[in-house]
Amino acid sequence: MSTRILQFTNCKILRNHRIYIDDLWVRDGIIVDPEKTFYDEKLGPNRVIDLHETLVAPGFIDIQINGGFGVDFSHDVNIIEDGLQSVAKGILPHGVTAFCPTLVTSKPDVYHQVLPKIKKTKGGTHGAEILGVHVEGPFINKDKRGAHAVEDIMDFGKGFRTLDEVYGYLDDIKIVTLAPEKENSRCIIEELVNRGIAVSLGHSAADIKTAEDAVSCGASLITHLFNAMLPFHHRDPGIVGLLASNNVKKIYYGIIADGVHTHPAALRIAHRANPKGVVLVTDAISAMGLAEGVHHIGQKVIDVRGDCAYIANTDTLCGSVATMNKCVKYFLEAASCSTVEALEAASLHPAEALGLSKKKGSLNYGADADFVTLNDSLDVLSTWIAGECVSHVPEFDICD
């Protein structure tokens, strides 16, 4: 059986929460132990690649992205396959090697049309890996709906049968965001977790007790912390209080570090309260990746100004246009954290939150060889999936 071994040398590697000067060996798309491969198996590299003293970090994983590059996953029903490919390809230069396409609160017929068309797909030169769908709604609190359509919000009237009827197709769903204060949510959470689907708490007015009960049932995530939930209050901190709860073993929380949605002080508070749980998400909308100016996207008219997207002719924000690499760099500065912590918030933590950390989110032996190379400013120079270069800046020509 033929095997292909790559040796990446002259680089720094993020592994086991530290940055080392070391080589990275990849065998048939999997990271391997060079000593065992060379000394025990008597195998050497087929190709040695000089990375010119760059930093090698695990590929970024975006578990909440609504679209980008003019594509809206929830509304471009007729072109969803082409739209997915466009976004999956477009996020590669920003270091994303895997993602969860996210659908906001929609009508059942939209879910029935879209969900069967979004399959879990391996990554490559065609685009980042699709880990499964994040359905953000429609089982949320109307009072904390944000930009979600109030007329499409639903209750769990028939228990889990409601999800079967509303979504129609659950096979490739990876995350469900719901409001835990809704009636019957406890049994819903338990059944979702039993099926291997992560439950995230969000768009909710839940108090701390309700939130803790949801976690005891298996909920493991918080959707965009601080946004679309009760503000922190010292007598009842609500969902935010999960970060420091003694009644919760482990909680991960998505946070939008784009310089718009979350104040730097809030980022620092969250990170210092629970540094191991932070998961950077873009929550990007269709305007991500588009030039400044007015864009007609579906039925929406969006005005992109700088790093913000507004409803045209207003000063009303309509979503994030951040890329994951920008979020990493902003979080590093705003949270006053280490480079390792910023990078793991975009790689290891989301992988752990989804139960994928044996294969994703690290450069440990046996993990998929999905990684990025970065300069000292954490600009992405190249992106690799399964040991194959899938994107690189022109001056970083080692991929050619």
Name the nearest CA neighbour of 244 among 205, 293, 208, 289.
208
Tell me the pLDDT tens digit for each residue of 236-247. Answer: 999 999 999 999
The C-alpha torsion from 194 through 195 and 200 to 206, rounded to 10°, is -50
Residue 136 assigned ligand-binding role: yes
Let me know how long the chain is: 400
CA distance 255 to 64: 10
**Ligand-binding site membership of 318 (annotated):** yes
Residue 291 annotated as part of some ligand binding site: no
Spatial distance between the Cα atoms of 279 and 274, rounded to a whole number of angstroms:
11
pLDDT at 197 over 60: yes
Contacts of 80 (CB under 8 A, 6+ apart): 73, 113, 114, 117, 118
Mean pLDDT (whole number) for 181-198: 97
The reply to whether 146 sits in an annotated binding site is no
Tell me the domain boundaries of the chain. Answer: 5-58+363-399, 60-353
Q: Is 17 annotated as a binding residue?
A: no
Query: What confidence category does residue 18 fall into, taking pLDDT thresholds of 50, 70 and 90?
Result: very high
Average pLDDT over residues 159-164: 96
203-226 pLDDT, tens digit per residue, is 999 999 999 999 999 999 999 999
> CA 384, CA 17: separation in Å to the nearest integer?
20
CA distance 176 to 201: 8
Query: Is 317 annotated as belonging to a binding site?
Result: yes
- Residues with active-site annotation: 283
Q: Which architecture characterizes domain 60-353 according to CATH? A: Alpha-Beta Barrel (3.20)
- The strand pair at 278-280 and 18-27 is best described as unpaired
Question: For position 2, what pLDDT does the model report?
Answer: 58
Q: Would the annotation count 327 as a binding residue?
A: no
pTM: 0.96
For domain 5-58+363-399, give the fold: Urease, subunit C; domain 1 (2.30.40)
pLDDT digits (tens, 9 = 90+) for 34-53: 999 989 989 899 999 999 99
